[in-house]
Structure formats: structure tokens, C-alpha cells
Amino acid sequence: MEKQMGNYVVSFSTFVLQPVRFGNRILTYVIERDRELDVPKKPIHIMKSSAAFYGSSFQVLTKTAKIVLGNVHKTPILLAHAYDTPCIFIPTLSSSSDQNVWINCLAIDFIEPDPLGCVVSLENGRKIKLAVSANTMWRQYCFARFLEKDFLKKQHLLNKSAYLFRPD
């Protein structure tokens, strides 16, 4: 485990933002592709500051996802994108919950039931136990993939639009 980092920005290498209670404070245990570290902020604060860093707001990203997915609970958000690849994070609970874990959709290899919820296998070989049912996580994963599909459709249209319209 590495030292604490105060100004952490989510990236494609970020796999999990997991809250950890430390006395009366909540910190974030971050699992990345190749390292793990503690950040002295709540996961929601990391998500909000990352949204601002990438030029949006958490509120706008949530509203945009709800336009695509409908008024679903625990809305996944498309935090940013690079080279037509979206960076979508899935909440396990309400984003306002102090126990909410954020998981990068692209980092998920598999989700399986566990007596106390589910186990999410990550692409780096790590497994994370969650107090959320496997069915709920599969539902969240599907919503994230629908969000990705909508993004890719819009990127395709954007790339083609120059050829669709001719100036008069």
C-alpha cells in the first residue's frame, strides 16, 4: 500500500474507490491496475473533483446518464473519455451513501454470488467482496454498458456528421 494522496484524480487505471472508516472519518481505499493507495477523501468527493478536473460536474454527468438510461437508481456515470473509449463508473449504492463503492466498468471481469452479497473479479486478478447482490451488480453493469453503447453511437454520428450535411 502506498502513502496517502490528497489530490487524486480518477483515470482508466482506477478500478475501485472503496470507502474505509478510520475513526470518525471516511477515507478511500483505491485499487488501481498496478497499485493500491489511501486517499484522505470520501469516494464521492473524489468522483466530484475528478468530474470537475475533466470539465464537467457530477450533477451534469448524473443528469446525462439519466437522460440515456431513464430515471434509474444508482446511476452509472460516464466520467470522461479518451480516443472513443468511455470511462464509466458504477455505484454499488446510492452515490450519497457513505458505504457506496465506485467500480470502473471496464475493470470488471466477472460478478458472482457470495453468501453476504457478491464477489467482483477485476481484470488485474483482484477480487472485491461487496454487500450487494450479484443480480444488483449485473444490473448496474448492464446499465453501464447501455451508457457506453449510447456514447459510441453518438461518437459514430459525430464522426459521420461532416459527411452528412453540406453547406448551402
Read off the pTM: 0.87
DSSP letters for the chain: -BPP-SS----TTEEEEEEEEETTEEEEEEEESS-EEEESS-HHHHHHHHHHHTTS-HHHHHHHHHHHH-S-SS--EEEEEETTEEEEEEESS-TT-TT--EEEGGGEEEEEEETTEEEEEETTS-EEEESS-HHHHHHHHHHHHHHHHHHHHHHHHHHHHHHH----
Percent of the chain at pLDDT above 70?
A: 92
pLDDT score, position 1: 44
Q: What is the pLDDT of residues 91-135, one digit of tens each?
A: 999 888 889 999 999 999 999 999 999 999 999 999 999 999 999
From 25-29, 41-45, 83-87, the region with the lowest mean pLDDT: 83-87
